[in-house]
Amino acid sequence: MAVHLHPQDNVAIAKIALQAGVVLEIERPAGTTGRPGPRARVRVRQPIPSGHKIALREIAADEPVRRYGQLIGFASRAISPGEHVHTHNLGVQDFARALDSGAGVRPVVPVPERERRTFMGYRRADGRVGTRNVVAVISSVNCSAHAALEIAHAFAPERLAPYRNVDGVVAFVHQSGCSSRIGSPDYVFLQRTLAGVARHPNVGACVLVGLGCEVNQIGTLVETYDLCHCGNAPPGCPPALLIQELGGIRKTVEAGIATVEGLLPTVNATVRSAQPVSELVVALQCGGSDGWSGVTANPAIGLVADEVVRQGGTVLLAETPEIYGAEHLLARRAVSQELVEALMAHVRWWEAHTQRLGIRMDNNPSPGNKAGGLTTIYEKSVGAVAKGGSTPLTGVYDYAEPVTARGLTFMNSPGNDWISVTGQVGGGCNLVLFSTGRGSVFGSRLAPCIKVSSNSDTYRRMVDDMDVNASAVLEGTALGDVAAELLDRVVAVASGQPSKSEAQGVGESEFCPWGLGGTL
């Protein structure tokens, strides 16, 4: 009825809703001897929802509360055995974190070349490999968003039927591109993200659509990011359409449709072929987390991340506010002190940023996270970091920067799902692994998104949106078996099998570059 995750934990997690008066007999996890510890008998003092925490012993005021063997907060008052541990008696305080780089590095044992798995992907001229082959219609500014959407939406599946190797014509629109300072963080993030789409290995060709007078000039974008030499598109600079020069939306849409029609035969000429899993760049993401996310879905994703790295591939963790309180766990796995400093610079920026905005890092978890059993940002972060597996940290990047390192990497981004994934995709991720406990309907039209449910209730209720059910771990299935199933799904989706969100056409509205404000 409850799970005790680590010998040092002074709380357990309710597997089912517990009523007052129930006596729990909890077998403590195995310690260093490998033998289970003595059983703990605890009488439940009040109703405790599934996924929530129950105190296993007396916890004094200000005493650390531990889960996963890690500190997740401090008791805001004395807590009795059997008591519900949540927002009413658990809070955050500053605590020292050891940031010794390399202390937790475990050497990666690579899979021998002859044993490496393959998927059916699209190899580009520059050597990168796509999991999809789309034509991207990219809006430079919100003013051209409608035209970009009209162009892309003209290419329904029946119109693309003659082009069997084209996976879609996709619009990438947003609500910015003007009224900002050239060179500002908003401007840089937007340009870097749009350039990342244009150069993305899942893009066979792109068309740029602008108004003409915006701050985010197409010519500057093309020149700054050398989009005339993308390595994945037809030779030459990408076609650019300016509404003011063409004479309005209708004429621009007509010109855009004709331009895409002219690109389709070239894009269709690229076909899927067997490619090594080492060419995957997998975004690791979570949204709508609950008390089981860090027990089932995130650790399963972590094992898949480790295997992708062993195969020679790349995985990208993100969401800086959702590693807060657990950043030391990543720092200990960094291969250099420079990476620790880069990681911590992003953490310190977020501390200052939230202070300027008059909010706190502990304003995350969300109300839904808390209803699912997560209490503090420390608790959420420790569970979220599990998505990164156990391999060394080899790279740290700012938002939407191109990811070039192999292995486990990290990108600075908000905890907001769609903004974070947009940055990861802008950095070159060609597939997304997304865990959820409360339920998420997120999708991405550029990099297919595989959603992993942490519990059976959510999986059954939202079966049309969930790809894999990781909660079998709670019923006795080995975590490695769930991870093996998930890895098989990764290979299948990378090879062209639609994910649940893809099958429903989800992912166009979820493209959302990070904006920090400063509108003029």
Same domain for 280 and 263, yes or no, is no
Q: Cα-flanking dihedrals φ and ψ of residue 273, to 5°?
A: -145, 165
Same domain for 300 and 430, yes or no, is yes
End-to-end CA distance of the chain: 56
Q: Is residue 36 part of a domain?
A: yes
Per-residue pLDDT of the chain (520 residues; tens, 9 = 90+): 889 999 999 999 999 999 999 999 876 665 544 555 566 789 999 999 999 999 999 999 999 999 999 999 999 999 999 999 999 999 999 998 888 777 888 889 999 989 999 999 999 999 999 999 999 999 999 999 999 999 999 999 999 999 999 999 999 999 999 999 999 999 999 999 999 999 999 999 999 999 999 999 999 999 999 999 887 767 789 999 999 999 999 999 999 999 999 999 999 999 999 999 999 999 999 999 999 999 999 999 999 999 999 999 999 999 999 999 999 999 999 999 999 999 999 999 999 999 998 988 887 789 999 999 999 999 999 999 999 999 999 999 999 999 999 999 999 999 999 999 999 999 999 999 999 999 999 999 999 999 999 999 999 999 999 999 999 999 889 999 999 999 999 999 999 999 999 999 999 999 999 998 877 7
Q: Is residue 489 part of a domain?
A: yes
Same domain for 431 and 282, yes or no, is yes
The domain boundary, picked from 91, 115, 149, lies at: 91
Same domain for 285 and 197, yes or no, is no
- DSSP-derived pairing of the beta strands 314-317 and 393-397: unpaired
> What pLDDT is recorded for position 31?
52
> What pLDDT is recorded for position 99?
83
> What pLDDT is recorded for position 233?
66
Same domain for 328 and 378, yes or no, is yes
Same domain for 249 and 313, yes or no, is no
Q: Which domain holds residue 17?
A: 2-91
Same domain for 304 and 409, yes or no, is yes
Q: Is residue 126 part of a domain?
A: no
For residue 365, give every residue at least 6 positions away whose Cβ sits within 8 Å of its Cβ, in sequence order, or none. 289, 374, 375, 376, 377, 379, 380
30: domain CATH number is 2.30.130.110
Q: Is residue 121 part of a domain?
A: no
209: domain CATH number is 3.40.50
Q: Is residue 9 part of a domain?
A: yes
Q: Is residue 139 part of a domain?
A: yes
Q: Is residue 466 part of a domain?
A: yes
Same domain for 426 and 498, yes or no, is yes
Same domain for 411 and 438, yes or no, is yes
Same domain for 54 and 17, yes or no, is yes
Instruction: Specify whether the CB–CB gap between 252 and 243 falls below 8 A.
Output: yes
**For the residues of 234-286, what is the DSSP string, one character each?**
SSSSPPEEEHHHHTSHHHHHHHHHHHHHHHHHHHHT---EEEEGGG-EEEEEE
pTM reported for the whole predicted model: 0.95
The domain boundary, picked from 221, 252, 269, lies at: 269
Same domain for 188 and 304, yes or no, is no
The domain boundary, picked from 250, 269, 288, lies at: 269
For residue 518, give every residue at least 6 positions away whose Cβ sits within 8 Å of its Cβ, in sequence order, or none. 180, 181, 184, 185, 186
Total domain count, the chain: 3
Same domain for 148 and 194, yes or no, is yes
